[in-house]
Structure 1
Amino acid sequence: MSGTQTFEVRNLVFVSGERFPALIDGDTGVPDFEVTLYVLTQLRTRNLSASTLTASTRSVMFGCQVLEYMGVDLQNRINQGKLLEPGEFDRLMDSFFWTQEKLRQALSQSTEKPAPNRVLSLESVRKSVPAVDNSQTINADTAATRLLYFRDFLKWKVDRSLFALAATHENYQGLTSAKEFMVGTINARMPKGSAKNDLDARQGLSSEETVLLLESVKLDSDQNPWKSEFIRVRNRLIVHLLLNLGLRKGELLGIKVGDMNLEKNELTIHRRADDFEDPRSIQPNAKTNARILYVDQELASALHAYVVKYRQAVRGARRHPFLFVANGSGAPMSIAALDVLFSDIKDKFPSKFERLSAHILRHTWNDKFSEVMDKHRVGEAKEEEARSYAMGWKSGSGTAKVYTRRHVRKKANEVSLELQARFSSLDKQ
């Protein structure tokens, strides 16, 4: 793989509906042979999701671009029975915290690259790394995931070369040792994330934020960010579905008109990986279990009105079965378009919704669910069972804890304040 700055990851859609990410040369349109072979033989056979395959392919592309920026010809090193030097590992690890845009800038600005196999001192390597501000870096969790995927690719690439060598070859032992050192070094330096830090964890909207959000999507509101009547109707329905049912983005965008039974006020959430009816290269899909959810009469009426009055009036919408469609083309609404919806609301209220997203509404649903369960004094086991079904989680998986932080913290603070009041009253006696 050479000239990697011109490469891009494209999702190919097979006739069967399967999505396959390919690393494509932007100049020739030809997939990179080695990366395609790796994804086909090492990842696709493990029945991984399309999103996981895409993330892995992007990570491999990023890592190869980093090596290019460093002036490292990896295949040439392998042919000589060598890999990276200690100082180069430092530079590699630091670069994996860069955004793709930062790496792209670094590649375009790099005019003097070291010779492919020249050993550099640690100090010279550190001095050559450009300054990076915080807006051009990713978090430790994302960097670790990216690095894990690239580590596995590197190991496979070296093993493939070793397989072609006889055990008595002069480079065999050196390359084997270099591989073990590489894997050990990357594992030892793997970034430690803050996923378990409850203070940084995502939580739902406050009551005030929820009220403002619902006000902003009212059809006749002066605060509504959209002008088109169709977009106002569609986006209001989307916000209400996310907020009232706690759906994921993929679940929402994967809903088909036939999934609704409005006579019974039922909505079925399906898992449809590699759906041949879905023309989107990046297919929105449910990550959780299929389930039947109930909607109230007001929401059912809004769904019915959207389908019969608005959706069918959009040219192109009848060519596919998906509920939410793009204005104008009528194509199934994309994940990017859904993200724009929430960006529009944040732009309308720049000081009010700093962390608004579709997934934040899933957290908001869970906060409200906890409050209702407390109000009805539902036991912890029954509450977790009901929550797991509504969210599509496997019963007993423990996933619910991720979405109940705000409520747990609120209850803990309420108890703490009550204890403080008791101690204060004792002190005054």
Structure 2
Amino acid sequence: MKKILIFLISLFLIYLIGINTVPSYIEAQRNPVKIPGPYVVSAEAQELYDRLDFIADLHCDALLWGRDLTKRGDRGHVDFPRMREGNVAFEMFTIVSKSPAGQNMQENSADAFDNITPLTIAKGESPSNWFSLINRTLSQAQALDGFISKEGENAILIKTKADFEKLLQMRESNPRVIGGMLGIEGGHALEGNLENIDAVYEAGIRMIGPTHFFDNELGGSAHGESGEGLSDFGKAAVKRMNELGIFIDLAHSSPAIVEDVLNQSNEPVIVSHTGVRGVLDSQRNLSDEQIQRIAKNGGIIGIAFFDMAVGTPEIPNIIASIKHVRDLVGIEYVALGSDYDGSVAVPFDITGLPLIVEGLLQAGFSESEIRAVMGENVKQFFLKNLR
């Protein structure tokens, strides 16, 4: 009996050590920063950046890793203190619930081993989350709600237009106030159940991408096997999202799904993190025709920061991607969509956004255009379309 007790205690201690070390090690490996801060730009760029009253980013997966976002981290890309350090007013916190082993841009199977299952266990999450995608999703939503609650009057979970307007009003007197909105990366999180759309809406989710890196019940991924458009379930899901006021995120969707959503949806769409084929010809990225249709829909396109979306060197190619959208359809349709903390290497963390302003200035963008890209377009999009 004594040996069994010692064995169980040893297992428990190993588990505790794993909770404290494994997730942080994995995150540090999966989310490197190529250029460590602090970041220095020209006086002109810094002065312009300091004049910006609303800076926004449309995609960040920081909730996946289990960090306390109220504390400044020494790994990863985003947390609340670094948002404030970078004067960032708004972040879209997206929820990843499944990721296939061997994940790649070309082709992934929905049956591949799920990388998120061992991470979920290693983080010490409830056993109810270990094998349930919807439970993992709701748990991450609850985590952001908890982080924001700890911030008191210094942070707002954005669910409605009134919440967004409150954020803008509060920042007039207190620029430390930040806002976060919840999104889901991949409709597999719904587990094929339309009722789960209502459940995630009640949890605060206001954006859902039909697919991520593999095909699911809603249809085909840009990186899946089928290339299919919306299934019957996918069409019903789009209809329900429109009814509730959940934005549809077309990042990672197959071209057929992009076409189907734009044909069916009566609400503007978001592409939260992408590149453009005019800069990097990849199945990951938007064609000119897709960009034009998204603009006609009244949507908004977030340009990602990592090499597989924009190519290398990243910063000039981020600027080139922004310029491509501007020149094709107008400055009002383009925004920042970093994919921070999304298992990608990025050139800088969220405190390095002045480097984007520097690049835009060097490319001849006006101050009004820079304001639009850095956050004004996101502000106007949500003021117009949030309910």
Query: TM-score, structure 1 length as denominator?
Result: 0.25
Computing the radius of gyration from Cα coordinates, the structure with the larger value is: 1
Higher strand fraction (1 or 2):
2
Higher relative contact order (CA 8 A, sep 6+): 2
